[in-house]
Amino acid sequence: MKDNFALPHNESGGKLRALPVGYLDDAIGAVRLNSSVADLSKWIRLQLGRGTFEGKKIFSPEQSWTMWQPNTVQPISENAWKNNPTRHFNAYGMGWGMYDYYGRKIINHSGGLDGMLSYTVLIPEENAGFVVLTNNESPSFQIMMSKIRDVLVGAPTRDWNAEAVKAVAANKAADEENSRKIDAARTPNTRPTLSLSAYAGTYTSQMYGDVTVSEENGKLVMRLVPAPNFVADLDHWHYDTFEIHWRPSVHYNFPRGFVTFTIDKNGKTDQLKIDQPNNDFWFYELDLHRTK
């Protein structure tokens, strides 16, 4: 049935919410395959069969060997080594990540989209592989991957769940501390240089396109034109800086972000600078100048 699929979920305001599937055709690098555990299990068997599945040759063993060879060596930090002291190399091959773990070569790749995270793991020496599919953004996919991998290679028992709980708490504490620092740096009792309507306009980046700012019901609203769901209310922070409050149409849980307007010699806005920390889209690269 075409409607028999999992919906993505993430947390917003401390509550779990279901997200719409959305339009994914333009994200083929991340989500070209929309599949199931049943089909991916067959794909894993094809990979472990070095290109042959149920007697049918799909690709050659030579190509399989090529895919699993390191092409890009990746560093292992001191903290990463302490976390997994049996790991001696980390690399990327032809669409696969690879590392050693308790004397086994691990072929793997994670996957992620708003509200869905996954892991695919092959352990050729054990003729074993598995896939973990989740429809949330918690560390559960990482926990399950680690537990299953450990069982298959006979690694010592390790409480990955407890470690994840501790890491989540540490990250939350760090976020709260960072938020306190942001609040402490705010200059109180300032006013915008201009009236709100004077900030309204179209700000254009040659690389990205238009970002519009409008005055609506006594507040500024920012819209990213190439991504219509990216709409944010802007609350005055200090001077000509406003805090970003993304509307629910934005499915990514951004940390606190700000926009700053610069004023030209004629007393009009000329630039819009977006400071929105995140791991995917670098807003600071947008060179937004007022065009309307």
Question: Are domains 9-172 and 196-290 of this chain identical in fold?
Answer: no
> In this structure, what token pair is assigned to residue 213?
């700012």
Q: Tell me how far apart the alpha carbons of residues 243 and 240 are, in angstroms, rounded to a whole number.
A: 10
- Report yes or no: 231 and 247 within 8 Å, Cβ to Cβ: yes
> Coil, helix or strand for 132?
strand
CATH fold of the domain at 196-290: Lipocalin (2.40.128)
User: What's the CA gap between 117 and 109, in Å, rounded?
Assistant: 11
CA distances from 58 to 93, 165, 195 (A): 20, 42, 66
Domain range list for the chain: 9-172, 196-290
* pLDDT tens-place string over residues 268-280: 999 999 999 987 7
For residue 194, give the 3-state DSSP assignment. Answer: coil
How far is 275 from 278, CA to CA, in rounded Å? 10
Provide the token pair at 273: 């600078």
pLDDT tens-digit map of 42-68: 999 999 999 999 999 999 999 999 999
CATH for 9-172, among 3.40.50.300, 3.30.70.3450, 3.40.1190.20, 3.40.710.10? 3.40.710.10
89: left (phi over 0), alpha (psi -120 to 50) or beta: beta
Q: For every one of its 292 residues, what pLDDT tens digit does the chain have, with 9 covering 90 and above?
A: 467 788 889 888 778 888 887 656 666 666 666 788 899 999 999 999 999 999 999 999 999 999 999 999 999 999 999 989 999 999 999 999 999 999 999 999 998 888 889 999 999 999 999 999 999 999 999 999 999 999 999 999 999 999 999 999 999 999 999 999 999 999 999 999 999 999 999 999 998 999 999 999 999 999 999 999 999 999 999 999 999 999 988 888 899 999 999 999 999 999 999 999 987 778 888 999 999 9
In angstroms and rounded to an integer, the radius of gyration of the C-alpha atoms of the chain is: 24
The span from the CA of 179 to the CA of 168, in Å, is 16
Do the Cβ atoms of 123 and 117 come closer than 8 Å? no
CB 249 within 8 A of CB 19: no
